[in-house]
Amino acid sequence: MGQLPFAEEDSPNKRRKELGPRAKSDIPVNPSSDSPRRWYSRRSLVTLALLGGILALAGLGCDANAHQSILSSTPWTLDGVGGPVAREQLLLFNVLLWTMVIVFVLVEGALLYAAIRFRRKPGDPLPPQTHGHTPLEIAWTIVPTILILGLGVWSVIVLFKLEPGEAIALARAEGREPLRVEAVGHQWWWEFRYEDPIPGSADDALVTTANEMRVPVNTPVIMELKSDDVIHSFWIPKLAGKQDVVPTKTNSMWFLAEETGMYYGQCAEFCGTAHAQMKFRVHVLEEADYNAWVDGFAEPVELSAEASRGQLVFLGDGQCVTCHTVGASDTVNPATGEGVQHGRMQTYIAYTKWLDKRAHERLEDVRTGNEPPTAFAAPNLTDFGCRTTLGAGLLDRNRESLRQWIRDPDGIKPGNRMSELAAIYQTRLDHRADLTETQLGDLVEYLSAQGPDICLR
Ligand code: HEC
Ligand SMILES: [Cu+2]
């Protein structure tokens, strides 16, 4: 580069002329102050303090122990995570973040220091002109290169560890197989399907549930993620990071929970009206409890007189069975003598194919502008007695909230597909269920009685 175009020291008059007419009146920089050359004003200090205060307040909301927190109380402890996948992700996140914070503070600090300390004062002579500093330039090329290469390579290694292959390797090292669970995103709830709920056992009963999945502790779990409609994102912050759930495609991820307990999950990709109400829970159980849930899953349950009447409403006037499934395939509808489980959901393979086909058809429909197909999936209610929530994590489940939900789902979760599509909500002007209070009460009894012993007792 040639010489920098530094001009000779200008006379104040000459400079004013160059600045043009607006600068002609000589406004003092800071009339109230003795030293007119401060680089900050009182107002900028107040603004800064306010911003800092707001940030600090927002920071108070961060808590490593909050339900869906992905933070640890300090960068080095990594507490607040529930298993190895989240730990790996949190460690990488913390190291990347703090490395960048340190680099930022050093670079910006040096910049600010130089700008303030060596700023030009009136009457200062032209400073000595320098052109480069070889050792410095080599240093600030090599250090960032090493940093970025190191962090990049480590990120790629972590990415590989997040692949399901790692879960398979981990399980096989202990002479077993990982548990595979298919999660299907629907607007606005989650379906969980277990093709082989107890890996390695000959008993292969299909388990299908919704919004609350159960897994055994210390077992690698591979999630196979599918969507029924739009793009969702599957996220259990304390167990594993997000993965997109994309129509016509199966994505996968895995996690392992080290302790029993409940973990909170959330759809993490805007997917329409009730996106914020598309939560789910992961119950991590002792292996024996998990097996009891699986074994008892589709066992027929004893129904009280009220609950039996409720079953008739479920299958008849309520038309709930057009969308919902309750019970094993050998549960018989007393009205028709037919199995209660729908034909379309009878086998896993058939259902998966149906789902894929439907997703493709929907894409076609979007392209051609056709009406969407009429078949609708709904939460499987077979283990409804195990649910702690209603409406995808929206309400605590109890008899009162269930009654409210059946009476007026739209009043609780605006936009949900049940009120939009079920016939009983289309006949009254206020869009509430066209059922009597007795029918509602019977339905509540019927649904509350569903579930394996381990949940009902
Ligand atoms: C048109 C299909 C359809 C019909 C008919 C229907 N539902 Fe639903 N139901 C749904 C859908 C879809 C959801 C999920 C709503 C959401 O959370 O966004 C749902 C959710 C529910 C839930 C909450 C499940 C959970 O785990 O959160 C219950 C309970 C329920 N329905 C009961 C009933 C009853 C009782 C009837 C009959 C009176 C009925 N449904 C009729 C589609 C239907
Ligand atoms: Cu979603």
> Residue 210 CA: which ligand 1 atom is closest?
26
With a threshold of 0.85, does the pTM exceed it? no
Query: How far apart are the CA of 263 and the centre of ligand 1, in A?
Result: 24
* Phi-psi domain of 255 (left: phi exceeds 0; alpha: psi -120 through 50; beta: other): beta
> Residue 423 CA: which ligand 1 atom is closest?
5
- pLDDT for residue 119: 86
Compute CA distances 257 → 85, 190, 282, whole Å. 9, 20, 10
Phi/psi at 43 (5° precision): -65, -40
- pLDDT for residue 339: 43
- pLDDT for residue 322: 76
Which residue ranges in the chain fall short of pLDDT 50? 1-33, 329-351, 371-375
Q: Say if ligand 1 is within 6 A of residue 392 CB.
A: yes
In CATH terms, the fold of domain 178-457 is Immunoglobulin-like (2.60.40)
Give CA–CA dist 198/205, Å, rounded: 9
- pLDDT for residue 368: 65
Query: How far apart are the CA of 415 and the centre of ligand 2, in A?
Result: 13
Q: Say if ligand 1 is within 6 A of residue 443 CB.
A: yes
- pLDDT for residue 356: 61
Q: Say if ligand 1 is within 6 A of residue 319 CB.
A: yes
- pLDDT for residue 369: 60
- pLDDT for residue 67: 79
Distance between start and end Cα atoms, the chain: 83
- pLDDT for residue 350: 46
- Tell me which residue has its CA closest to atom 17 in ligand 1: 391
- Estimate the crossing angle of helix 84-117 against helix 134-161, to 10 degrees: 160
| Domain ranges for the chain | 56-117+133-162, 178-457
Residue 414 DSSP one-character state:
T
- pLDDT for residue 345: 36
- pLDDT for residue 20: 43
- Tell me which residue has its CA closest to atom 2 in ligand 1: 323
- pLDDT for residue 38: 64
